[in-house]
Every structure is written in C-alpha cells, then in structure tokens.
Amino acid sequence: MRYLPLTEADRQEMLAAIGAPSVDALFGDVPAAARLDQPIAGLPNHQGELQVERALSRLAARNVPAGSCPSFLGAGAYRHHVPASVDQLLTRGEFLTSYTPYQPEVTQGTLQYLFEFQTQVALITGMDVANASMYDGATACAEAVLMANRVTRRNRAVLSGGLHPHYRDVTATTTGVLGVDLVTLPADPKGIEDLAAAIDDKTSCVVVQNPTLFGHVADLTPLAEACHAKGALLVVVVTEVVSLGMMPSPGSMGADIVVAEGQSIGNGLNFGGPYLGLFATRDKFVRQMPGRLCGETVDADGKRGFVLTLSTREQHIRREKATSNICTNSGLCALAFTMHLSLLGEVGFTGLARLNHAKAVQLADKLAAAGVSVLNQGFFNEFTVQVKGDAAALVDRLAAEPILAGVPVSRLHPGQADLADLLLVAVTETTTEDDMDALVQALGGKQ
Amino acid sequence: MNTQGRKTTPDVESAAATDVGTYTGNRALVHEEPLIFELDNPGVTGVDLEAAPAVASRLGGLKAREGIGLPGLSEPTVVRHYTRLSQKNLGIDSTMYPLGSCTMKHNPRLNEKLARLPGFGDIHPMQPQSTVQGALELIDQLAHWLKTLTGMPAVAMSPAAGAHGELCGLMAIRAALQARGETGRTRVLVPESAHGTNPATAAFCGFTVDAIPAEANGRVSVEAVKAKLGPDVACIMLTNPNTCGLFEPQVKEIADAVHAAGGYFYCDGANYNAIVGRVRPADLGVDAMHINLHKTFSTPHGGGGPGSGPVVLSDALAPYAPLPYVVHGADGFRLVEHEGEVEQGAQPFGRMKAFHGQMGMFVRALAYIMSHGADGLRQASSDAVLNANYLKARLQDLMSVPFDGYCMHEALFDDRFLKDTGVTTLDFAKAMIDEGFHPMTMYFPLVVHGAFLIEPTETESKATLDQFVGAMRHLAGKAKAGDAAHFLAAPRYTPRRRLDETAAARKPVLRWAPPAV
Ligand SMILES: Cc1ncc(COP(=O)(O)O)c(C=O)c1O
C-alpha cells in the first residue's frame, strides 16, 4: 500500500518496544462486542493509482463541464477564467499541506497572504476590515445576521426578496434555532420592493443583495440611511464578487457588514464547493466578528510579522461564549482568490468587471432584438428573461444540445406559478459571441 | 487550539544577532518579501483581457467605480511573490507535522489531479441534473462508503467542516426532539476535555452547555454522565476516541444511559481516523457523528481549510437530514432540493450551505478511500495507533504521561517533566521548530497542564519517528540539564523569530494601509 511506510518487520520491532503482544492489544479499551476482527465486508480492497483514476475518470466523463458548451449559469456561482499560475502556485505543498497557522514562526507564508487577502477584501467592499474567510457566501450571510443582533441587541432581521433563496434558507436555518425573528419579503423579480418600509425599532438589520438574484442593481444609500435612522444595520450580500470592480462599493453606500461569495475570483465551479465566504465590516464592530483574523506584529528582533489575533472571540478560547463555532474555514480558496486578484490588480479587476458587464449588455441587446423580453433596466452580468412557457422545461430541453441556458427561477423559488417562465442568464468574460448567438437562436421568438 | 492564554512573548531579551549582515536583509534561500501592496507598480497587470464590446453601460444609473486601490503587478512578480511566501511555510510535504487532533497525514497527489478533472471541477451546482449524473453518483458512492464503514443508515453530506457537521447533528437532534414534542430538552452535556467547537456549537444551536468533569484517568465515566442526566437533557457531545487520545471504554454504557434518559448521543468524530475499519460507531450507540474528511480521509488542510464534515445519522435522526441530498431513483440519481420534493417521512430541518456540499473534497476523499480499500483503511488506523504508542513508549521515561495505558492515534504528555526548568510547553515547541519539526498541538486538551498532544499519523516511517524521538529526548535532556536559554531563544532559524501576539491583540492592525504622507 503506497501510502503506508511501515514494513511488517518495523511493526514487530515497534510492538516489541511498546511491550504489546499485537496491534489488536492496543485496542483493548474497545468494548469486545464492538471490535471488528476483519476488514469490513462488502467493500473492495485497495487499488493502484491507475485503477482509481480510471474509475473516477469514468464518473467525471458522465458530467457535462460548463466550459464544454455555451453556458449561462450563474445564480451564486460563476464560471470565470482563472489564470494558470493560480493553480500552479496553489498546489505548492507548503501552502496546500499546512494547517491553520497556529505556530506563526513556521507559517509566515500563510499569515502574510491572509493579511493581503483581508486587505484586498476590505478594499473591494469599501469596508475597514475583513476576516480570514467563512465557508461560503450563504453561511457568511447567516453569521452577519447573528452579528447584527449582537451589535444592536435586537432580534429581528429583514431579508430582501432579491436575496438568493439558498442564502435565505441557510440564514433561516441557522438563526431559527436561536429564535431570531426573520421578516422575509416575497420574491422580487421586478426589483420594486420597498425594504425601508419593513424597518422598525426592533429591526437589527436589513439584508439586501446587490445585484439581486434577478440581476437588479441599486444605489443602496437611501436604504442605509433608512436603516441607520432606526438604529438598524445594513448587511449587503454580493454573490458575484466581480461586480465590485464596477459597481460602487457597498461601503461607499453605507453598508455596516458586507458578505460575499468569493468563488468567482480564483476558484472553479466545483459543483458548489468548496467556495469562499467573504466577511467585512467597520472597525468599530470588529470584536463582534466571527471567524479568524490575521494581524500585524513584530518578532523578537523587531521585524514585521503576522499572527492570528483577537482570538478571544473564537471557540478555542471562549467556548460557548464565542461569536461563532467556526474553526476550519476556506483558507486555500482565500489563497486562490488573493493570487488571482493580485494578478488582476486595479487595471485587471476593473477591466474584468467592465468586460463582463459589456458582454452582458451585448447579450441582452441581442435577446431583445430577437423578441425575448428582458426584465431588467439595470444589471451587472446577469439578468432575468421571460421565456415562452416553462423555463425549467426549456432548460432541460436545451441541455440535450448541449446548451446550459441559465438557471430557471423555479428551481430556486419553486411552486410559484408567476415565476415559472423566468430564466436567470449570466454572462462572463468566458462567454463568446458564438455562445450568445446559440442562446439567442434557442430562445429567440423571431428566428 | 494552542493557547491557554499563555504568554507568547519571550521571557528574556535574547542576545541573538538581529543584523543579518547582507545588503538585502535576505538570508540566501530566505527572502524578505514585501506585501503585494508594497510591490505596486501602478498600471501594470498580470492578466490580459480581450477588448470589451463597445456598448453603453446599463448599470441602472450607477456610476462606474474607479480607484479601488489594488496594486498593479505582472505575472512574474506575482509568481515570485507567492513562491517566496510558500518558502516561509511548513507543510506535511516538508516535514513531520504531529499536530494532535488535526491529523496531518500525507495528501496524495492523485486526489488533486482527479478533483481538477473538468467533469468535477468545471460543473455548475445548478446545471440540469441530467448533465451531472456522474457527480451525483460520486456523492452517492462516498456516502455508501461512509455509511458502511460507520455502520450508520444515513449521512448528511453538505456540512463544510467539522464544526459545521456538529451544527448539523445538533440541528437534527433539535428537530427530532421537536417532533417528539420535547422542546424542554435544552441542556447539552459536554466533557471538559472537549474541543472548543463542541460547546460553541451547542450554544450556536440555542442549547445551554453543562460540563462533565474528566476522571483522573482521562476518561468520561458513566456515573459522571448519569449524575448530569435529566428530562431537560437533549444530548451528550462526546469525542471518541477522546481528545486525550484515549478510547472511551464506557462509551456504550454512556450511550445507553443517555438513550434511557431520552437524550441523543452526538459523537465528535474528529478522531475517527484511529478506528476506521476496526470499530463501527453504530455499534457504540452513536446517533450522529461528523467525519472530518480533511483529517480522516486526508483532503489537504490548505493552511486552514477548506474542509468537509459529512454527518452520519442513526435511524432516529435520519428523517431530519438537511437539504439538499442525493437519492437514487428509477431514472438515475436525483438531487432533492426542496421540501416539496422529499419522500414520505422525511422532514429536513433546513439548509446548511448555498449548494450541495464540498464536492472538491468529496472527489479527493473518495480517491483516498478507494486507494486504501477496506483492507488499507484498517491498516492505516492500525498503523496510526501503532505509531502513536511507539512514540509514547519511547518518550515516557523522559517526559511526563498524565494517563497510563495504551493510547489511540495520539500520545498525550503534560508539562510536569519541565517543572522547575524554566521551560514551558511553548518554549519546548519553539525548540522543536529549530530541530526541523512542526510542533505538536500545545495546551489542548485543557484537562492536563501544559499539554503536548502528539499525533504522528500512519504516514510517518519508523526512521522519521526515530529521528523525532531522538530530537525530543535531546530537548528533554537539555531542559532538565538547566539549559533554559536554549529554549527561550528558540526558534532561531525561522524567517521570523518569536512573534508578539500580545501586541497584535492590544493594537490590532488587520490590514495594510498606505503610509501616511
Ligand atoms: C476534536 C475536534 N473537534 C472538532 C474540530 C472542528 O473541526 P473543523 O476544524 O473541521 O471545524 C476539531 C478540529 O480542529 C477537533 O480537533
């Protein structure tokens, strides 16, 4: 067995040093009735690399990669081009195979990139500070509501109808057990809801996604003012983080907490995980933040270095009084993000966002010209179209071509007849004009 | 987990040379590397994009953003920067990394290769299910292995890590209690030796935490549990093998007592790697247990994550497993995503994560499991336990052992052997760094003083273990001989020497800011 270095002779020598008659004897504390004498039946034995590769490649071949056909899938996960150097660097064993940086002298590499990551996230969200990552955007959203409750000592959160339903559900699941009062507005395909009207003196926060699930974009400044007037916080959710290269930052519009899905930068689709939760806030709230934080300090020689800090918020110190139970986070996804964003830089990040937006406008125009109705006035790289008949059935039909035509709204908001003909269509820099024409052809009424 | 609030600044001002004596401040292979922000060359980029189509912006009247403040770097600069940062890190690839409870074992590269196949890495979570049948089958196959190995009837695959799995398990318990109409069960029993995530999770799930004291032998006794049981107890969260590296001999009696009192048994499965293929948790009376795929099944820790924490569930809890999950029907595999689609009897408690789980980790874990097979998994846990006992046997005459007898996959020592030497566990750990090892977990579990929790794992050879033993004996001898100065000045050969954690927390600097002009 290629991963196991001990020989039978080693084992015997080691048992002799231990003074144990057998390895079985080491398991003497296991109740006799629960001891297994043989490998578990019905499972295959070990296999070589070649055999494992063959078996799993066969499974992989039964999936249609999004990059192998025209794809317009978004709704919280986006296919972007990740530069080759990102993955090459990511697989360096010193990064890949290290643990959480508990011993800072031998993990300055990890700690420095976390410090860079936190700074980049703070810059693009327009906030003061960011943590070292959460599991994904949805869990970050739930944690934001809990944090807003701690900060305001209130217990009612208002969730926009433009919020991704999975984010809504994760938030409801997580906060429900704590008795948090959630006011959930109905799905808002037209982008016309009045969130300010839902705020009262008991509201801890308003959670609003920008762009919304349906692609609508908004200036959140008036909403932030309405929140602050009532002593509530504004939590802004961003599921397509590339939008921050073009849209005004949530911080500049008055957000108190910004949570985002960072997958778009540096990370592949991976069928939904692992992804990267971003979490940023104002300086004054930092001690209420969940998750790890890396901070700057000096070493015994007075040289700059980095350590994990403010850990008195965390489970390993505070146990049941911690701000969150999170321990393992999304470290390596954060590294991929920070490397990709370093490659992009100011020119690349703003350019990438403008390219995504321009291509989306191009597709929206082509669709409109073909008689397909686009619901959005404004959008970033994703918008909602109204198709003839059932959008889910259409998507299934086109998958046979294959064209991955987008995400039918009914898959996220099931059981609502008025949403059944809506389709979310996303465009990124990977979308070609041929891809667009294929979709226009497939959806267009005038062809 | 490595702090009991011990001070981490050196006790004495070391006289070691600060001045490296080179023009650059570099020391050959060890470079002084600035932050990316300090490497900024405005206007430079490492990515060339195609020209955007000439269209008018349609941002709903929002003004397009400028001046974010990101630095400009070319690809060569970026590649060199991160390569240099990597050289300031230790990984399991570099050296033995016996970080107890964290299971730093070899990470096979086949698994990396397979996770990157476009058929796994480049599929979207919302693709039509007909286009992802292989992915759903992979999830189902991994679930089958996890269920068969643990003997449990069901598994929730979506939790993102161990602590997230704990939350999943406790939410299932909460839902089951609610279904029984027993909402008065609000207390969760957690042994003192438990990992911090256990009490944190219980509180995060709305329960109150009641600590069970540890026995003098490092175990939890059924009497201590019984003394705490009552009609308001929801469950016990018991780690087995426990955080002292010991199998709980009374685990079955404890499970029976908890069940008799109407509660559930949540098992923290962080240490499942010690018993895979040798014990099935189902036979111990477990109702829910998370499996850290990033520990037991070797998906890389990546400097802090990502992980994956599937939770196996008993029949009593299976109906409450969260959405989404995979089922096998007449026309292939299907992902159940909504309450309206669930089969008879299922009452999912909600959703844990945006999508279906940590697919990238599933591919790696399944590749690891198939490479080992039933025989290899049993051999791996046997070797892990053998390696730990070997270390314990070879070190117990010089270091102090809080609990007698054989251990499981990790050997626990306390700091009594350092009494009156002026050397702390932390100092000792820093001297191990100079010897070329990553230190063990320190100051955890909390139930012993100045803990050294050493987990070698099965992927270390006897030669490496012998070298490690030699280094530990050398250091223990040095400490006892009164050479505290050796420890207080350690580490000497790292890119940075001891870092001032107190100063970092007192005046937090959590991001780079441009120098004031
Ligand atoms: C005993 C124990 N329980 C729970 C956890 C939490 O697991 P994770 O870090 O995957 O959330 C850990 C890991 O550090 C652990 O060692």
Specify the amino acid at residue B213.
P
Q: What are the extents of the domains in chain A?
A: 67-81+346-445, 84-340
Beta carbons of B68 and B42 less than 8 angstroms apart: no
CA-angle at A170, arms to A166 and A173, nearest 5°: 135
Cβ within 8 Å, pair A99-B43? no
- A64: chain B residues, CB-CB within 8 Å: 123, 127, 131-132
Which of the following CATH numbers is that of domain A84-340: 3.40.640.10, 1.10.3210.10, 3.40.50.300, 3.30.230.30? 3.40.640.10
Task: Map tokens 């629960």 to a residue.
Answer: A34
d(CA A424, CA A406): 5
- Which residues sit opposite A307 in a β-bridge? A295
Residue A297 has a pLDDT of: 98
More confident residue, B185 or B331: B185
Distance CA A162, CA A28 (A): 58
Neighbours of B316 (CB within 10 A): 17
Residues of A in contact with B395 (CB under 8 A): none
pLDDT at A257: 98
Q: What is the distance in A from the centroid of ligand 1 to the CA of B163?
A: 6
Cβ count within 10 A of residue A441 = 12
Percent of chain A with pLDDT over 90: 97
Mean pLDDT, range B144-173, rounded to an integer: 98
Would the pLDDT of B13 be above 60? no
List chain A residues with CB under 8 Å of B284.
Answer: 31, 34
Work out the angle between the directed axes of helices A108-125 and B75-86 (0-180°, nearest 10).
Answer: 140
Of B109, B169, B357, the residue nearest A49 (C-alpha): B109
Mean pLDDT throughout B484-507?
97
- Nearest chain A Cα distance for residue B403, angstroms: 13
Q: How confident is the model at residue A446 (pLDDT cuts 50, 70, 90)?
A: very low
Interface pTM, i.e. ipTM: 0.98
Tell me the mean pLDDT in the region B64-87: 97
Give contacts of B380 with chain A, Cβ < 8 Å: 3-4
Q: Say what the pLDDT of residue A106 is.
A: 98
Q: What is the CATH number of domain A67-81+346-445?
A: 3.90.1150.10
Residue B163 burial (10 A CB sphere; 0-12, 13-18, 19+) = buried
CA atoms of B111 and B117, how far apart (whole Å): 10
Q: Is the pLDDT of residue A447 over 60?
A: no
Q: Do B383 and A11 touch (CB under 8 A)?
A: yes
B195 in contact with ligand 1, CB cutoff 6 A: yes
Confidence of residue B3 (pLDDT cuts 50, 70, 90): very low
- Cis amide linkage into residue B491, ω under 30° from 0: yes
Cα A208 from chain centroid (whole Å): 16
Q: How many CB atoms lie within 10 A of CB B25?
A: 12
Name the token pair of A432. 């070609």
Q: Quick one: B87 exposed, middle or buried, by C-beta within 10 A (0-12, 13-18, 19+)?
A: middle
Strand segments (E) across B342-451: 411-413, 441-442
What would the pLDDT profile of B199-223 be if each residue is shown by its tens digit?
999 999 999 999 999 899 999 999 9
What would the pLDDT profile of A348-359 be if each residue is shown by its tens digit? 999 999 999 999
Confidence (pLDDT) at B1: 40
Ligand 1, atom 8, residue with closest C-alpha? B162
The structural domains of chain B, ordered by start, are 111-367 (3.40.640.10)
Provide the percentage of residues in chain B whose pLDDT is more than 90: 94
What's residue B17's pLDDT? 45
Q: Could you identify the atom of ligand 1 that is nearest to the CA of residue B164?
A: 11
The amino acid occupying position A352 is: L
The label of the residue with tokens 């909504």 reads: B338
User: Quick check: B18 pLDDT over 70?
Assistant: no
Least confident of A236-250, A274-288, A310-324, B348-362: A310-324
A360-397 pLDDT per residue, tens: 999 999 999 999 999 999 999 999 999 999 999 999 99
Q: A interface mutation test: which of B82, B186, B391 has the most A CBs within 10 A? A: B82
Q: Which two tokens stand for residue A424?
A: 């979310």
Residue A444 binned pLDDT confidence (cut-offs 50, 70, 90):
confident
CB atoms within 10 A of CB B64: 14
Q: Which is nearest to B61 in space by CA: A187, A351, A376, A241?
A: A376
With contact defined as beta carbons under 8 Å apart, do A166 and A409 qualify? no
- Of B10-19, B287-296, B431-440, B452-461, the poorest mean pLDDT is in B10-19
- Asked if residue B473 has pLDDT above 60, the reply is yes
Task: Give the model confidence (pLDDT) of A204-255 as tens digits.
Answer: 999 999 999 999 999 999 999 999 999 999 999 999 999 999 999 999 999 9
Beta-carbon separation of A52 and B495 below 8 A: no
Residue A274: asked if its preceding bond is cis (omega within 30°), the reply is: yes
Residue B86: its H or E element: helix B75-86
The minimal CB distance from A295 to the residues B2, B379, B504 is found for B504
What pLDDT does residue A213 have?
98
> Rounded distance, CA A229 to CA B432, Å?
56
What contacts B80, CB < 8 A, 6 or more positions away? none
Q: What pLDDT is stored for residue B7 in this prediction?
A: 52
pTM: 0.97
The mean pLDDT value for B30-51 works out to 97
- Radius of gyration, CA atoms only, chain A: 25
Residue of B101, B170, B198 with the most ligand 1 atoms within 8 Å of its CB, for mutation: B101
Q: Which amino acid is at B198?
A: N
* Adjacency order of strands within the sheet including A407-408: A373-374, A382-386, A422-426, A407-408
* 3-state SS string for chain A: CCCCCCCHHHHHHHHHHHCCCCHHHHCCCCCHHHECCCCCCCCCECCCHHHHHHHHHHHHCCECCHHHCCECCCCCCCCCCCCHHHHHHHCCHHHHCCCCCCCHHHEHHHHHHHHHHHHHHHHHHCCCEECCCECCHHHHHHHHHHHHHHHHCCCEEEECCCCCHHHHHHHHHHHHCCCCEEEECCCCCCCCCCCHHHCCCCEEEEEEECCCCCCCCCCCHHHHHHHHHCCCEEEEEECCHHHHHCCCCCHHHCCCEEEEECCCCCCCCHHHCCCCEEEEECHHHHHHCCCCCEEEEEECCCCEEEEECCHHHCHHHHHHHCCCCCCCCCHHHHHHHHHHHHHHHHHHHHHHHHHHHHHHHHHHHHHHHCCCEECCCCCCCEEEEECCCCHHHHHHHHHCCCCECCEEHHHHCCCCHHHCCEEEEECCCCCCHHHHHHHHHHHCCCC
Chain A contact for B503 (CB, 8 A cutoff): yes
CA distances in angstroms from A143 to A172, A173, A204, B163, listed in the order given: 11, 11, 13, 14
Read off the pLDDT band of A445 (50, 70, 90): low
Residue B287, token pair as written in the block: 């109702």
Compare A156 and B3 and report the one with higher pLDDT: A156
Given a cut of 60, whether residue B325 has pLDDT beyond it is yes
Q: Is-contact B220 B212, C-beta < 8 A?
A: yes
- pLDDT given for residue B6 in this prediction: 45
Q: Is B42 strand, coil or helix? A: coil
Q: What is the pLDDT of residues A38-53, one digit of tens each?
A: 999 999 999 999 999 9
- What mean pLDDT do residues A419-423 have? 98
Say whether residue B70 is in contact with chain A using an 8 A CB cutoff: yes
**Span B403-430, mean pLDDT?**
98
In short, whether B307's Cβ falls inside 6 Å of ligand 1 is: yes
Average pLDDT over all residues of chain B: 95
The confidence band for B515, taking pLDDT boundaries of 50, 70 and 90, is confident
Taking CB atoms and an 8 Å limit, are A399 and B73 in contact across chains?
Answer: no
pLDDT tens-place string over residues B344-401: 999 999 999 999 999 999 999 999 999 999 999 999 999 999 999 999 999 999 999 9
* pLDDT band with cut points at 50, 70 and 90 for residue B15: very low
| Structure confidence by residue, pLDDT tens digits, A9-64 | 999 999 999 999 999 999 999 999 999 999 999 999 999 999 999 999 999 999 99
| Rounded distance from Cα A326 to ligand 1 centre (Å) | 9
